[in-house]
Amino acid sequence: MKTLLSLFCLVTYLTCALSANVNIESCTGATLVGEGEDSDTIVAHRRLCAGIDKAIANIGDNEDFVTWLGEYTPERADKVKDSFKAIKDALNQNQIEYLGNFKGCTNGEAADPVKGRPMLGLCEPYYGFQLDCSGTVESKEFTLITFWDYAYGGGRYGGPGSGEKDPEIFKMIARDHPNIAIIDYYNIGFFYCASQK
């Protein structure tokens, strides 16, 4: 009887352990490494999960969606939702690091994901940005969401240019090429920021 009870306890323990959905990290956890540490980065990072929830809630046949992501269809909306959910899952499941004064950014970009790691390198332009999303002004929060979309949300392209984000170009992409807009990480970033009001 004692052996049977011990076996039952072991099976129960293993069943619970194997079926548990364990999040080792949280969406609010991040570490600054290297030079150029910036406390605004941690604040912007902590805003991402709540901000992603706002962006998901804003997905619909509305002005923000049409302006930044093009024609609304349920299928296209689902693709955008999936991108945001993938970013949030990655931020929840990884110990995110931000590498200060990264020298690997190209074309005047403010940041670049470090290949093979849950790390974003922050380059010189980033340090001149304001903290939070505010209209179409580049910000630290905009930079983080766009490059995490590139790293985890399936975002591609990034649009033309040398790191400068002319909102009119991305509105044109949404209007004329909506299937590109939903996977362009800057269009996703502009939609995210529009959703924070």
Q: What is the pLDDT of residues 28-69, one digit of tens each?
A: 689 888 876 678 999 999 999 899 999 999 999 999 999 999
Q: Is the pLDDT assigned to residue 76 strictly greater than 60?
A: yes
**pLDDT score for 10:** 35
Are 128 and 148 within 8 A, CB to CB? no
The span from the CA of 124 to the CA of 2, in Å, is: 66
Q: Give all domains of the chain, ordered by start, each with its CATH number.
A: 25-194 (3.40.390.10)
Complete DSSP assignment for 167-181: HHHHHHHHHH-HHHH
Tell me the two tokens of residue 92: 């929840």
CB-neighbour burial class of residue 7 (10 A; exposed 0-12, middle 13-18, buried 19+) = exposed
pTM value is: 0.83
**pLDDT score for 27:** 77
**pLDDT score for 26:** 65
Q: Is the pLDDT assigned to residue 4 strictly greater than 60?
A: no
Asked which of 56-70, 164-178, 181-195 is least confident by mean pLDDT, the reply is: 164-178
Q: What is the pLDDT of residues 114-171, one digit of tens each?
A: 888 899 999 999 999 999 998 898 999 999 999 999 999 999 876 655 556 889 999 9
**Between these two residues, 83 and 18, which has the higher pLDDT value?**
83
**pLDDT score for 125:** 92
**pLDDT score for 14:** 32
Q: Is the pLDDT assigned to residue 5 strictly greater than 80?
A: no
